[in-house]
Structure 1
Amino acid sequence: MSQAQSGKRVAILATDGFEESELSAPRAALKSQGVEVQVVSPEGKGIRAWAETDWGDTYAADKALHDVDVSDYHALVLPGGLFNPDELRLNEKALAFVRGFFEAGKPVAAICHAPWILINAGVVDGRKMTSVASVGQDLKNAGAHWVDEPVVVDNGLVTSRTPKDMDAFNSKLIEELAEGRHSGQHA
């Protein structure tokens, strides 16, 4: 356990259709560092994973979106998958929650298709980012500088491409969490 991470709390915002490894692996990595992790879903109910090619397990949610506040957490993780970010990017409460982390200068980590949520939250303009290749043009159109790299960090914003980049993603997430607030993180 890392002494620097003791007492920290991280939200993982997700709904049905999240890529299973993109929630389970960051959660395990954070917990191994002594971080309290809470899964937040729109309704506070269990959410069903997508496990690469078919539906996976159902994961319990710790909190409902309407019961949480940015001030409750030190960082935010956004897993990808196709269905999950497509649903969340149309949820104004989810977008407001995401924007709040940027406004507070707190670390945000998004992988795979999750940058769709960041685009709709209006927080990608001028940021250096990566994602699954199919989201690259969407990020460019929204004003981001998209690159094809395993992990990119831009002032507290951590992005990665796919589950194959999970080790790099988790490492940078933990590093940014330890650093805390970032003055360059902005909405």
Structure 2
Amino acid sequence: MKIAFLVAPEGVEQVELTEPWRELSAAGHSPRLVSTEAGKIQAFDHLDKADTFDVDQTVADATVTEYDALILPGGVANPDFLRLQPDAVAFAKGFCNAGKPVAAICHAPWLLVEAGVVRGRTLTSFPSLGTDIRNAGGTWVDEQVHVCDAGPGPLITSRRPGDLKAFDEAILNRLSGAAA
């Protein structure tokens, strides 16, 4: 399956990008890095600059139909930037409306709040987003990973880097079910 990882030009939490990417690649999926700008993105290890990664496609040139699922890594700055970019918001909303799997970790659900797709859904995130999720009509839970099927497509969410193993397993389980 072809999987879009949507990130800002700067601010993604590196491990929340690289760990799911590695697991999906090892399982035979084809991850692609999508961003608002061409070139490279700057990842972070918390507040410190980490590695850079090549962008495969800009969100302006990407379509929901060419991908099977969407992964939204966190970091505080990453989703905060993306939620102010109309193309990024529309891209995320398009996956939800199309019933395709969407996975978001840490602060990434901010983009889903902006896209207006959390109403009636249950999700988890970094704890500081709980009020935002509730104010957007969602239910926030404090769980390592939560899969919500109360919508057109599955929404897989997780709290933080320490939950990546469970997050990756939930994504792989859902994608293997979608491929069957």
TM-score by length of 1: 0.91
Output the CA distance in 2 between the equivalents of 1:180 and 1:69: 19
Output the CA distance in 2 between the equivalents of 1:44 and 1:69: 16
105-114 or 55-64: bigger deviation: 55-64
Output the CA distance in 2 between the equivalents of 1:115 and 1:165: 15
Corresponding position of 2:43: 49
Corresponding position of 1:142: 136
Corresponding position of 1:184: none
Residue 177 of structure 2, aligned match among 167, 176, 179: 179
Aligned ranges 1:40-79 → 2 under 5 Å: 40-79=34-73
Corresponding position of 1:20: 14
| Mapped contact 1:79–1:114 kept (Cα < 8 A) | yes
Output the CA distance in 1 between the equivalents of 2:141 and 2:35: 30
TM-score by length of 2: 0.94
The alignment yields a C-alpha RMSD, in angstroms, of 1.0
> How big is the shift at 1:88?
0.2
Query: One-letter code of the match for 2:6?
Result: L
Corresponding position of 1:115: 109
| Mapped contact 1:10–1:73 kept (Cα < 8 A) | yes
Corresponding position of 1:93: 87
Structure 2, gaps ≥5 residues long: none
Output the CA distance in 1 between the equivalents of 2:119 and 2:27: 32
Corresponding position of 2:155: 157
Output the CA distance in 1 between the equivalents of 2:65 and 2:178: 13
- 2:99 is paired with a residue whose SS is coil
Structure 1, gaps ≥5 residues long: 1-7, 182-187
> How big is the shift at 1:79?
0.5
Residue 126 of structure 1, aligned match among 120, 123, 130: 120
| Aligned sequence identity (%) | 47
Q: Any idea what the Cα deviations from partners look like across 1:52-90, whole Å, max 9, x if unmatched?
A: 231111111111111110011110000010110000001
